[in-house]
Amino acid sequence: LQKLIHLLQATDDPLIQEQVLITLSNSAAFSVNQDIIRNLDGLSVIGGMLSICVPKVKEKALNALNNLSMNIKNQEEIQVFITQVCRIVESAPLNSDVQLAGLRLLTNMSVTSDYHQKMISSIPCFLHLLSEGTERTQIQVLKVLVNLSANPAMTRHLLRAQV
């Protein structure tokens, strides 16, 4: 895992970045690896890949963070990327793999109310995706909205959102 994280930092080749991110994402299926990746500063390295312009790399980084977000300690570190992930969801092509990967990560990050405040400005986008997206996109957006609606502090923001 350490070599993979170093390789991800060292290369500018999108094909290598994509493959490394897939491997890290698969490794994150095991909770012990989630801790190891966090302890090796892998979350910030993977999060740094969100700035890459290549859609496949961005998608794979979102998928890896999604798998790593199943761990509460990892969520504490991943939460710094929520605003960026919301921007990615808003700017990605409608119904794209990047948009869906971002929504899946936001779903996991919104299971508890700890990070709901970071998603408030994206509520209008979520509602737009609910009306314009395909069924796959709508289902993923609904999961985020259901999680947000479980928090009484979000009621006003959800009801006042301009669509």
Q: Do 67 and 133 belong together in one domain?
A: no
pLDDT at position 139 is 98
Which residues constitute the domain of residue 157? 80-162
Reported as half-sphere exposure (CB side, CA atoms, 13 A), residue 67 has a value of 23
Residue type, 38: R
Q: Do 102 and 42 belong together in one domain?
A: no
Q: Which two tokens stand for residue 69?
A: 């977000």
Nearest to 73, CA basis, from 100, 42, 102: 42
- Indicate the pLDDT class of residue 162, thresholds 50, 70 and 90: confident
Q: Do 26 and 38 belong together in one domain?
A: yes
Q: Do 52 and 99 belong together in one domain?
A: no
Q: Do 69 and 90 belong together in one domain?
A: no
Q: Do 132 and 65 belong together in one domain?
A: no
**What average pLDDT is seen over the chain?**
97
Residue 141 to residue 145: CA distance in whole angstroms: 6
Q: Do 93 and 154 belong together in one domain?
A: yes
The secondary element (H helix, E strand) that includes residue 69 is: none
Q: Do 5 and 73 belong together in one domain?
A: yes
Q: Do 93 and 39 belong together in one domain?
A: no
Answer whether 78's CB lies under 8 Å from 62's CB: no
- Per-residue pLDDT, averaged over 91-105, amounts to 98
For the cut 80, the answer to whether the pLDDT of residue 163 exceeds it is: no
Q: Do 5 and 65 belong together in one domain?
A: yes
Q: Do 100 and 69 belong together in one domain?
A: no
Torsion, CA 104, CA 83, CA 134, CA 153, rounded to 10: 80
Given 79, 112, 136, the domain boundary residue is: 79
Could you tell me what percent of the chain has a pLDDT over 90?
Answer: 98
Secondary structure of residue 29 in the 3-state scheme: coil
- Indicate the pLDDT class of residue 70, thresholds 50, 70 and 90: very high
Nearest to 66, CA basis, from 92, 29, 104, 40: 104
Q: Do 17 and 34 belong together in one domain?
A: yes
Residue 141 to residue 152: CA distance in whole angstroms: 19
- Indicate the pLDDT class of residue 107, thresholds 50, 70 and 90: very high
Tens of pLDDT, residue by residue over 23-32, are 999 999 899 9
- Per-residue pLDDT, averaged over 90-119, amounts to 98
pLDDT at position 56 is 98
Helices 123-132 and 82-91 sit at what angle, rounded to 10 degrees? 30
Cα distances (Å, whole numbers) of residue 91 to 56, 94, 99, 153, 156:
15, 8, 8, 27, 25
**How many domains, in total, are found in the chain?**
2
